[in-house]
Amino acid sequence: MISRSQGRSATAAIAYRVAERIEDRRTGLTFDYAARGGVDHTEILAPDHAPDWVRDRSELWNRVEESETRKNSQVAREVRVALPAELTHAQRVELVRDFAQEQFVDRGMIADIALHAPGRDGDDRNHHAHILLTTREIGPEGFTTKNRDWNKVEVLEGWREAWARDNNIALERAGIEDRVDHRTLEAQRDEALELASAARERGDEGAELVQTVRAIELDRPPLPQLSPGAWQMKERGIEVGRVGAWHEAKARAAEVMEVARELAGHVRDWLDRAADRVLDRLGPEQSELALAGGREGREQEPDFATRLQAAWEARK
């Protein structure tokens, strides 16, 4: 939330995110970020019945400020989303635009979106977008009442699920196999362990190994949340307490991912060797049975998944 109780304003927030110069009529302050780089795309989306002035960014966010009278008013809501680096710029714009239209604008909000390129320092895949949202309903004549339903936790969870779904549709359309998941790392890891256990019970060593490696890949701490101020310090290379913790979690995640990639390679090799042995033993006329998971005549293999999980726990 962009709140006056935090000393923040909607005009300052949007000026920084879209790299423009905006004067705040209420305070007389001018926020000039026109020289700032790294903004790839900006766009305002609004309901069809909204007045024409909502397309003027300065007018829009000044009227947002003027519609609030309390000194601790929440003047806007910001949603930050990570964008797949594998997509093209046009695909990323379409992804954000369609998501904002369906989840926010169709509910009655105005969405001001800004797509940012990765910073000069750090991860060059860090494409992301800022979506600044109004907190009041908009009518043909202007802003009306605040919609408290937009603050509900289940609405936020719905947005997160919808963002994962829309990302995965875009990735599939682009022919990319990777997928994203809105659930916590812990929930995803528990699922992988359950699938590994189910595979073990039905005697599917290959699936058990794959899910065990997936569980190891997910066994990492989540990146801690950073306040807007701390995030800006991180982007400028300034190290403070929360930023240091963020970098530590990022390094830990990179280490775990590297281990998981190496293990995945070993699993693929093991599966290839196991498949070759089964096919050789059964003969070509029985290859379809082997590929379908038939176990008749299969040589006994050590329980690699159990050993792998135990080794990982010992290494931790």
pLDDT at residue 77 is higher than 70:
yes
> Does the pLDDT value for residue 302 go beyond 70?
no
Token pair, residue 87, equals 């997509």
Q: What is the mean pLDDT of residues 268-296?
A: 52
Task: Read off the pLDDT of each residue in 3-9 and give the average, rounded to a whole number.
Answer: 94
The average pLDDT across 200-226 equals 82
Q: How confident is the model at residue 166 (pLDDT cuts 50, 70, 90)?
A: very high
Note the pLDDT of residue 305: 67
Q: What is the tens place of the pLDDT at every residue in 97-126?
A: 999 999 999 999 999 999 999 987 667 888
Which residue would you say has higher pLDDT here, 230 or 156? 156
Each domain of the chain, given as residue ranges in start order, spans: 2-173, 185-315
Q: Is the pLDDT of residue 292 over 50?
A: no
**How high is the pLDDT of residue 277?**
59
Residue 17: closest CA among 75, 78, 96, 67? 78
User: Is 2-173 CATH 3.40.50.10860?
Assistant: no
Q: What is the mean pLDDT of residues 276-284?
A: 53
Predicted local confidence at residue 244, as pLDDT? 74
At 297, the pLDDT band (50, 70, 90 cuts) reads very low
Task: Using pLDDT thresholds of 50, 70 and 90, give the confidence band for residue 216.
Answer: confident
Mean pLDDT of the chain: 85
Identify which has the larger pLDDT, 255 or 80: 80
| pLDDT range class, residue 270, cuts 50, 70, 90 | low
